[in-house]
Amino acid sequence: MTANLAGSRRTGLALLEERVTLKQGAGGRAMRALIEDIFLDGAPELSPKDVGPLAMDDGAALWIGDRWVVVTTDSHVVHPIFFPGGDIGRLSICGTVNDLAMMGATDVLALTCGAILEEGFPRTDLERVRASMAEACRESGAPIVTGDTKVMGRGEIDGIVLNTTGVAVTNRIVRDCGLRPGDRIVVTGAIGDHGLAIMAARHQLALEGDLRSDVAPINGLIRAALESAGESIVAMKDPTRGGLSSALHEMADKSRVGILLEETRVPVHDAVRAAGDLLGIDPLHVANEGKAVIGVAPEAAELLVETLRAHPLGREAAIVGTCLAERPGQIVLDTGFGRRLLAEPEGEPLPRIC
Amino acid sequence: MPDALPTAAESRLDSAIRQLKFRDPETARKLAGTIARVTKEIGRSPVSVMHVCGSHEQAIAKFGLRATFPKDLNVIMGPGCPVCITDMPEVDEGVALARQGLLIASYGDMLKVRGTVQSLNDAQADGADVAVVYSASQAVELARSTDREVVFFATGFETTAVATAAVIRSNPPKNFSVLSAHKYIPPVMEIVAEMPENRVEGFLAAGHAATITGWGIFEAFAEKHRLPVVVAGFEPLDILAGLARLVELVRDREPAVVNMFPRCVTKEGNRRAQEELWSVFRPVGGRWRGIAHVPNGNLRLRDEWAHLDARRRFPIDLASLWDYAPSALTADCICGDIMSGIASPSNCKLFGKECVPDTPVGACMVSSEGTCKIWHQYGGHPDLGAL
């Protein structure tokens, strides 16, 4: 890895630059390169049953006694902090609960919350954010058991940063690298709502009447899916930064399969597609905060979709693709009009989306 | 959210949602079938047709249409990106004026395009003042907000040239002037039609430019070169329907002009826009990047607007640029061949390696209408038929 990057630096194809750029915080290849080059340097060796940082999955899983303890952490910076369909408080709970669920750990034992506030941040906004966190905790059944608060000077951070860490235990781990040729790809609902809602709000396009973030805790939905489809579910990932495209690229790359994605089957709300056209942004490349991508054995795919659709957060679930032995690591997009490769996003078109 | 903007924005969203109805895959399959059948009836291989528009290439790439074209049909990308065909010496003029202390305003993509030695971005890094604007009128507003001389580096085809003409005629402030690098599409079609390397048998003409000029402007061209021209829009069905009609005309050896974009384009075009355009600009011969000299292909200000013409108001000291050595990589760039339809990005050894959107070597990797940028964004055009 290091040698390759040194080579690319010489040729001008610099994934890693001398200073950190926003692109490196936005999902996709550049962010993964930064993490691999800096933060995974010297990562610990874990026992074979464990899932550690080198797996770059949604969380870590540590085999303790007769089951796994799953741990994940996430920091939340979003602009604007209040947006159609949610706010940074709801986002901070859902992001961590959903990461645990993507590892197969749907019953959350505990969350922690670290809040860093900017001097001058309005107290009424803080109360609104806290109430929203409490609501999301109630929906997901995840309690916040400890926390931390720091205040920084005006201009030293932008308003508010929330970090949440989550812990859960589970008898079965689901990785993001378990896809096999022939497996079907299922999404649990419409794609692109969060990213386009944020961008419309940020650009003050006043499009938000039909554009709402999908931010929601989906551990209950995933619990139902795992109870119904069981071992047939072979991989899961939540399509947050970099959207469905980035999630599928990562899953395909780690699993060494190709994926044929049928765009006309991907549920996308009309308002999201149209806003994407207006802004020149592909809904497949923007964040979702209440959705999952699930790899499932072909014979169980219909049953899985039926189960998901019976749940309020999975009504628009659909089978959207098939894993291929050919083109490992690549996503072939069938647009309904023709086929092309889906390029991996190099970063969000705009920073700080989740 | 403020209440000031919503009406326009809402109507834009409504109209964008209405556009989605032009995306019926079933109709697309039928049209693709027609294209394949008619191409086979022609009985030659390959049959080459050319579109002259970056927006056409973008739609073709975005919707994966190229994978549905029959192997015997070669749909070539022509010189259709206004950023890509702005010639290096034209960029040099803008850079020289910026380095002389004038405030240069231009469209964002133009800032990244290298002239012989520098881009406007490079000049800015050296301390020159360069501003991004989204329209000609925004450049005028910039001039009204300052005492400094503001030069609008104006690029683009007839569609954006009309907007430049409108601000020139609207009594802009005395510190505003225009460095015109505007281009006019019909003359370059003459050049491409006569290139022996291409063997182009028909043209897909750009719907938005034809909205201004009208489709009638292509009649003399079709007659002279005995080549059919079909005017097409930018939704996937527009393009497929346009191509289906075009191959029929090729099969029937019928050098006609057909308007397949009647919801926007008339035979006469927008008369008022044409009057504004030609009252401000005159066509002159000049180079297009990668294409060579195009008679009547460049638009320059008429004499009566000399006081707004940056070329006549300021001495342009190009000699000040030659201290810099051009990048060695540019020697390997084949943007010229790509724009004249002789090569595709996959023929370029820099494509996707040294030349990527963040660090473009050639102009085709800069703009969202540039062929290389489009191929890079949509994963290129590998053969996906086997899957």
pLDDT in tens, A94-136: 999 999 999 999 999 999 999 999 999 999 999 999 999 999 9
- d(Cα B34, Cα B41) in Å, to the nearest integer? 10
Angle between helices A219-229 and A88-102 (to 10 degrees): 20
Interface test with A, best of B3, B7, B13, B361 (most A CBs within 10 A): B13
How many whole angstroms separate alpha carbon B90 and alpha carbon B111?
Answer: 12
Query: Taking the CA of residue B30 as centre, how many other CA atoms within 13 Å lie in the half-sphere pointing to its CB?
Result: 6
Q: Is the pLDDT of residue B163 over 60?
A: yes
Cα–Cα distance, B310 to B321 (Å, whole number): 18
Which H, E and C letters describe B167-215, residue by residue?
Answer: HHCCCCCCCEEEEEEEECHHHHHHHHHCCCCCCCCCEEEEHHHHHHHCH
Neighbours of A64 (CB within 10 A): 11
Q: Do the chains contact at B377 and A343, CB–CB below 8 Å?
A: yes
Please give the structure tokens belonging to residue B377: 């964004």
Of A273, A280, A336, the CB nearest to B25: A336
Pairing of strands A233-237, A184-187: unpaired
* Tokens at B233, concatenated: 């829009």
Higher pLDDT, A252 or A347: A252
Q: What local confidence, expressed as pLDDT, does residue B204 receive?
A: 96
Q: Is B71 on the interface with A (CB under 8 A)?
A: no
Tell me which chain A residues have a C-beta less than 8 angstroms from the C-beta of B5.
204-206
Task: Assess A206–B contact: CB distance below 8 Å, yes or no.
Answer: yes
Do A327 and B387 count as a contact with CB atoms less than 8 A apart? yes
- Distances in Å between the Cα of B46 and the Cα atoms of B69, B73, B201 are 12, 6, 10
B387/A278 touch (CB, cutoff 8 Å), yes or no: no
Q: Which of A185-194, B6-15, B105-114 has the highest mean pLDDT?
A: A185-194
Supply the pTM of this predicted model: 0.82
Shortest distance, CA B62 to any CA of chain A (angstroms): 8
Strand A293-296 to B281-288 pairing: unpaired
CA distance B327 to B306: 35
First to last CA, chain A: 28
Closest approach of A224 to chain B, Cα-based (Å)? 34
Prior bond to A80 cis, omega within 30?
yes
CA dihedral (A265, A267, A271, A272) in degrees, to 10, reads: -100
pLDDT of residue B2 exceeding 60: no
A325 C-beta neighbours (distance < 10 Å), count: 11
Q: A339 vs B387: CB contact, 8 Å cut-off? A: yes
Sheet holding B257-259, edge to edge: B73-77, B47-51, B203-206, B229-232, B257-259
3-state SS class at B154:
strand
pLDDT of residue B216: 95
| Residues 6+ positions from A57 with CB-CB distance below 8 Å | A51, A102, A103, A175, A176, A177
Mean pLDDT for the stretch of residues B5-10: 47
Is A337's CB within 8 Å of B64's CB?
yes
* Nearest residue, CB atoms, B19 vs list A205, A264, A277: A277
Strand ranges (E), chain A:
60-64, 67-76, 82-83, 86-87, 108-118, 144-152, 160-170, 184-187, 233-237, 258-262, 293-296, 318-324, 331-334, 339-341
Q: Which residue of A has its CA nearest to B2?
A: A204
Compute CA A162 distance to the chain's CA centroid, rounded to the nearest angstrom.
17
Q: To probe the interface with B, which of A285, A340, A342 has the most B CB atoms within 10 Å? A: A340
Select the residue of A278, A326, A335 nearest B64 (Cβ to Cβ): A335
Confidence at residue A21, expressed as pLDDT on a 0 to 100 scale? 76
The percentage of chain A sitting over the pLDDT mark of 90, rounded to a whole number, equals 73
Q: What integer best gives the mean pLDDT of chain B?
A: 88
Measured between CB atoms, does B381 come within 8 Å of chain A?
A: yes
Residue B9's Cα: distance from chain center in Å? 26
- Report yes or no: B78 and B50 within 8 Å, Cβ to Cβ: yes
Answer positive or negative: Cα dihedral of A79, A80, A84, A87: positive
The confidence band for B172, taking pLDDT boundaries of 50, 70 and 90, is very high
- Nearest-Å Rg of the Cα atoms of chain A is 20
**Would the CA dihedral through B288, B293, B295, B298 be positive or negative?**
positive
Segment B194-209 shows an average pLDDT of: 87
Overall average pLDDT of the B159-167 stretch: 94
Q: What pLDDT, in 10s, does the model give residues A43-96? A: 888 888 999 988 888 999 999 999 999 999 999 999 899 999 999 999 999 999
Q: Which of A271-275, B145-149, B196-200 has the highest mean pLDDT?
A: B145-149
Asked if A340 and B17 come within 8 Å (Cβ–Cβ), the reply is no
CB within 8 Å: A270 and B61: no
Residues of A (249-308) whose Cβ lies below 8 Å from B: 260, 264, 270-271, 273-275, 277-278, 280
State the CB neighbour count (10 A cutoff) for residue B197.
11
Contact B64 A264 (CB under 8 A): no
Find the radius of gyration of the CA atoms of chain B.
21
CA distance A123 to chain B (A): 20
As a whole number, mean pLDDT of residues B51-66 equals 89
pLDDT of residue B368: 79
- Cβ-based neighbours of A280, under 8 Å, separated by 6 or more: A349, B368
**Half-sphere exposure in the Cβ direction for A209 (13 Å, CA):** 10
Q: Distance, in angstroms, between A111 CA and closest chain B CA?
A: 32
Query: What is the pLDDT averaged over residues B337-347?
Result: 83
**Residue given tokens 């057909």 in the structure block:** B258
Asked if the Cβ–Cβ distance from A204 to B62 is below 8 Å, we say no
**β-pairing, A293-296 with A160-170?**
unpaired
Which residue in the set A206, A273, A277 is minimally distant from B6, CB to CB? A206
DSSP annotation of A173:
-
Q: Which residues contact B386 (CB under 8 A, 6 or more apart)?
A: A326
Specify the pLDDT at position A13: 40
Q: Nearest CA to CA, how far is B10 from chain A (Å)?
A: 6
CA gap A178, B202 in Å, rounded: 50
> Which of A273, A274, A338 is facing B68, going by the closest CB pair?
A338
* Percent of chain B predicted with pLDDT > 70: 91
CB nearest to A337's CB, from B16, B63, B379: B63
pLDDT at B353: 85
Tell me whether residues A336 and B377 touch, CB distance under 8 A: no
Task: Flag if A336 and B17 touch (Cβ within 8 Å).
Answer: no
Q: What is the mean pLDDT of residues B208-219?
A: 92
Q: What pLDDT sits at residue B331?
A: 78
- How many contacts does A have with B, using Cβ atoms within 8 A? 110
Q: Which helix (H) or strand (E) holds A132?
A: helix A123-140
Helix extents (H) in B282-347:
310-313, 335-339
* Confidence band for B104, pLDDT divided at 50, 70 and 90: very high
Least Cα separation, residue B181 to chain A (angstroms): 26
Contact assignment for B1 to A201 by CB distance below 8 Å:
yes
Is the model's pLDDT at B352 over the cut of 70?
A: yes
Residues of B in Cβ contact (< 8 Å) with A12: 329, 354, 359
Scored b (16 or more CB within 10 A) or e, B45-72 reads ebbbbbbbbbbbbbbbbbbbbbbbbbeb
Q: Strand B229-232 vs strand A184-187: parallel, antiparallel, or unpaired?
A: unpaired
Nearest to B49 by CA among B67, B33, B70, B63: B70
pLDDT of A1 > 80? The answer is no
Residue A311: pLDDT band (50, 70, 90) is: very high
Average pLDDT over every residue of B242-269? 95
User: Parallel, antiparallel, or unpaired: how do β-strands A184-187 and A293-296 relate?
Assistant: antiparallel
For A30, A164, B7, B164, the CA distances from A26, given in Å and listed in that order, are 8, 19, 32, 37
- The answer to whether residue B22 neighbours chain A at the CB level (below 8 Å) is no
- Direct distance between the N- and C-terminal alpha carbons of chain B, in angstroms, rounded to an integer: 48
**Which has the higher per-residue pLDDT, B339 or B237?**
B237
Task: Give the pLDDT mean for B324-340.
Answer: 75
Nearest alpha carbon to residue A142 among A237, A217, A236: A217
Which pLDDT score, from 0 to 100, does residue A205 have? 64
A247 touches A238 (CB < 8 A): yes
> What does the pLDDT read at residue A348?
56
Is residue B144 predicted with pLDDT exceeding 90?
yes
**Stronger pLDDT, A181 or A27, i.e. the higher one:** A181
Query: For residues A90 and A217, is the Cβ–Cβ distance under 8 A?
Result: no
The CA distance from B58 to B53, in Å, is 9
Length of chain B: 387
E-state strands within A119-225: 144-152, 160-170, 184-187
Q: pLDDT category, B324, cuts 50, 70, 90? A: low
Name the residue of chain A whose CA is nearest to B3's CA: A206
**Which ipTM was obtained for this model?**
0.73
Which residue stretches of chain B are H helix? 6-19, 25-42, 54-62, 88-99, 120-125, 136-144, 158-168, 185-193, 207-213, 219-225, 236-251, 271-280, 310-313, 335-339, 371-377
> For residue B354, which residues of chain A lie inside 8 Å, CB to CB?
11-13
**Å from B171 to nearest chain A CA?**
31
Q: Is B380 on the interface with A (CB under 8 A)?
A: yes
Any B CB within 8 A of A324 CB: yes
Q: How many residues does chain A have?
A: 354
8 Å CB contact of A343 and B354: no
